Each structure stands twice: as structure tokens, then as C-alpha cells.
Structure 1
């Protein structure tokens, strides 16, 4: 009988995880299947209880359940607990243990370009859920600078305060960040600006961006946001959100199976789904 894996969210029809992960199970000849389940907030506890009862090997958690799922789990690892969000659950001998692979997935994605985060001056744009996972993960690496630019300064300051890892961080207005963006080596865009219906917008003015900078946007649909396009015109290196998506999925797969999969295969699969050209 095939081992069940799943992703829980609401909505869930847009998720590319089933195609990507079912391909891996098939490629590695694992007797497993990965299914999407649309779960309403009021049914989340019942869904988790049901997956545990039937012995599911694990599951992913996406919007809007990443924080609300924690009370229904048997345990949560240190990073996920500090972030306050879970995106991967592993059935460990009958106990459901929650992890967060979003931040580590982002880190692995940029390590292909920036192997030593500790030597970087970093500006992160946004202070929402995705930003929280990335900020905590980056702070653990002890970069030279790790500032947050956000529309609401209080939210950015609270994120800095909540982080369990020491970091040299300031909360900046978007105007301050735009004016001083030339000070940073790595710029990380974590907001939804750049997706439909805001595809023509960008969160910061990049007039002062240095050519040597590395600019990331966690959005991957569209493949190149207006923000990344503007950065490329300034001569910066750019990276969209595909690497983060692929690596967070790869880390989840590793937790479920014990080995790390072929990320290039995963990346090509996602690109095909998005209408891009696989490498």
C-alpha cells in the first residue's frame, strides 16, 4: 500500500508541490503518493488527526495554516517554534513533529551565489510570515548587517525583537531603505508586491543600487518581477523564488525519506509548470 504524503492549505489548487514531489517519489521508486487537500480553518484539527490515524508519512502546510497547526502537533523543532510557523510535518514513529524549511530553503537557494552569508550586509524588505522565517534563518548565520525595511516600522521592530539570535539590525522605512540601498550586498524582497494584481509595482526605488549587489525576490510567478527587472537593468545579479520553493521542498523530502533529492530535476519540473525553459 502506498505511503501517503500531503499538502494542506486553503486554497490549494494552485500548489505545484504535488507534481514536483510525486515526480520525485516516482523517480526514486518510492511506493508513495502526495496529494493536495483543501482544508478550512475550522477543520484543521480534524484533518491532522485523520492523517495521523491513517499513518501518513508526513505533510506540508501552506497558507493559512502554518501557525494555527502547531497546537495540533505532538512536537515542534526549535527553529519552527521560534518562528511560530510550520510548513513541514514528519510522522516520527507515530508522533507528528513540525519543522520549518522555508528559511533554510531560502538559505540553500542563495548559497549557490553567496556561500558566506556571514560576510554580507543584508537588507530584507517586508516583515510578514515569509520574512520572519528568512530573517530568523539569516540572523542565525550572523551577517555583518541585517536590516528590515517595512511599510510599518513597528512591525519590523517587533520582528527584530522576537528573533532569538543576536543580530545587527535596524528597522527602516521604505524611503530610508531606498536612499541607502547602495550600502547592501544582498537585498531580499519578501512581500507580495510584484504578483497579480500588483505586477507593475515594486516595493523600493532602486536608483541607488550598486552593480555588485545580489537581489532576490521570493516570488516565482511571474518568473521576473518588476523589482528583479529593475535590478537587472542596474547590473545586479538576480534570483527569483524558484530556488527557495525547490529547496524547501527538497528539505521536506529529505526529512521524510532520509536523503536529499535532485534539486535540478525539481527546478526543471517547476519551470515547465510555469511555462519557462528548463535548464
Structure 2
């Protein structure tokens, strides 16, 4: 029968995960399938029973289950426990174990494109303080960068991220206005909010007037592929990093946990972009 993999969440009918993981299965020369298991929030216990009955090898988790699923797992990876969210579950030795691959997957995608970017001299600005920002913030701390400042509308929410800080990394919570004013200080600017996502494609979380031309600007939004934020950065001469690369690499990390297969997925970044463009 091969590997039985899937995704739980609601709504998920337009998810690209089945396509992505079929690419991985083909690349690894493994038999298997990746299916969508959609259910409203009150159906989680029933969904998990169905997956156990199918003896599924593992599954991804998306909204609205990323936090609540923690209570149904037998084990949880320490980083996922710290983040309070799980997006990947592995079935092993009769137990469910939960992981979070978002942050590490993001960093993998960044290093693949800019291999010399993350050093102990790198200064980072993180825009937003939601679930994606938490994972990315923790992963960047693990890379030993010099500084990660967090800009968010709600200062209280941004300050909650500081509990994930590793001591050697300098971090400050600032306003969006402060971020705009001191933009030239940062080597890497990461946009982690939903601002600029379809259908509100003209929106932009901050203005980039003060950006340095050698800076890298990253946006985790992947619909559209070229957000207004990235377009503005590109027009100002900055280097850009697209959101669909994170989507691919966090999936690749989950696939690695399910199958113990390490893949070189570099060539799939362009293939996924073509898929998103409908080509």
C-alpha cells in the first residue's frame, strides 16, 4: 500500500499539500498517497480515530487544529511544546508525536537561496507576531543571529514572543512606525502577517523608503507570489525571497520525519511557482 499521509484542517479543499507531497514521493521513489481530511473544529476526536483506524503514517495539521491537537498527542517535540502549536504528526511505535516544521522550514528555504545570510552579525526585523512569526522567531534564534526585532500593532502580543528568545540574541519590540524609521539597520526583513494576500493585493504592512539595497526582504504570503511588499522591495534594489519557498521546505521537513528520506527539493521551488501561476 505504501505510505499513507495527509492533512487535517478546515477549510483545506484548495491546499497544495497533496501536489507537493506527490512530488516528494516521486522524488524519493516511494509508493504512497497524501489525502485531505477536512472537518469542522468539533470533529477533531472523530478525525483522529479515523486516521488511527487507517494506520496512517503521519499527517500535517493546519487551522483550526494547530493548537488544540496538542491535547490529543502521546508525545510532543520540545520546540513544538514551547511554541504551543503542531503542524506535523508522526505515527511511530503505536504513538502520535507532534512537531512544528514551520520555523525550521522557513530557515531552510532562506539558507537555500541566501547561504551566507544568517551569521552572528545579521540583524533581522520580524513584522507580525502571530503563529508563523513565533516559529520563525524561534528558528532564527537557533541560527545565532545578532538581533531579531519584532514589530507589531499589538505590543503585548509581540512581547509574548520574547519568551522564545535564546539569551545571546538581542531582541526589541518596536512599533511599525519605528520599524520604518530604522529600516536601514536591518540585513533581513521578514513579513509574516496576512497583509497583501489575495484579494487585498495592494496592501503593504510598512513602507520601505529607508531600506538598504543589500538587504533581503522576505514575505511568507504566496498568493500572490509577488506581493506588493516584495514588488516595492525589488523596485528599491533589495533582494527578495518568496513565500512559496517556505511552503515547500516546511513540507519537505515533515516528509523527512515521516519517511527518514532526505531530499534535494531545490528544483521544485520553480515548479511550485509555475503551479501557483497556473502554468
Residue 122 (str. 1) matches residue 111 (str. 2): no
Deviation larger for 203-212 or 46-55: 46-55
Deviations 1:212-242 (A, max 9, x none): 1011000111111000111111110001112
C-alpha contact (below 8 Å) 1:217/1:228 kept by paired residues: yes
Tell me, yes or no, if the aligned pair for 2:28 and 2:261 is still in contact at 8 Å. no
Provide the C-alpha distance between the structure 1 equivalents of 2:205 and 2:216, rounded to a whole number of angstroms. Answer: 16
Query: What residue is the counterpart of 1:245 in the other structure?
Result: 247
Residues 182-231 of structure 1: per-residue CA shift (max 9 Å, x gap): 10000000000111232101111110001110110001111110001111
Q: Distance in 2 between matches of 1:45 and 1:63?
A: 15
Correspondence for 1:218: 220
Which of 140-149 and 101-110 deviates more? 140-149
The 5 A counterparts of 1:27-106 are 27-106=27-106
Structure-to-structure mapping, 1:251-262, within 5 angstroms: 251-262=253-264
Residues 233 and 200 of structure 1: is their aligned pair in 2 closer, same or farther, counting only changes over 3 Å? same
The answer to whether the 8 Å contact 1:90/1:256 transfers is yes
Inter-partner Cα distance in structure 1 for 2:173 and 2:151: 6
Distance 1:56 1:43 in 2: 18
Q: Secondary structure at the match of 1:252?
A: helix
Distance 1:26 1:213 in 2: 36
2 CA distance for matches of 1:276 and 1:144? 40
Distance 2:127 2:20 in 1: 28
Aligned to 2:268, what secondary structure does the other structure show? helix
Measured in 2, the distance between the counterparts of 1:226 and 1:88 equals 31
Unmatched runs of 5 consecutive residues or more in structure 2: none
Q: Does structure 1 residue 7 correspond to structure 2 residue 1?
A: no
In 1, the alpha carbon distance for the partners of 2:159 and 2:28 equals 45
The 8 Å contact of residues 20 and 269 in structure 1, kept in 2 or not, is answered as: no
Q: Which deviates the most, 35-44 or 111-120?
A: 111-120
Question: Are the counterparts in 2 of residues 126 and 191 from structure 1 also a CA contact under 8 Å?
Answer: yes
What is the total number of aligned residue pairs between the two structures?
276
In 2, the alpha carbon distance for the partners of 1:139 and 1:27 equals 32
Q: 1:140 to 1:94 in 2, by over 3 A?
A: same
**Structure 2 CA distance for aligned equivalents of residues 51 and 262 of structure 1:** 29
Which structure 1 residue ranges, 5 or more long, are not aligned?
Answer: none
Match of 1:137 in 2: 139
Within the alignment, does 1:163 sit opposite 2:164 as a pair?
yes
Q: How has the CA–CA distance of structure 1 residues 16 and 117 changed in structure 2, closer, same or farther, with 3 Å as cutoff?
A: farther
C-alpha RMSD of matched pairs (Å): 1.5
Asked if 2 retains the 8 angstrom alpha-carbon contact of 1:52 and 1:96, the reply is no
Structure 2 length normalisation: TM-score?
0.94
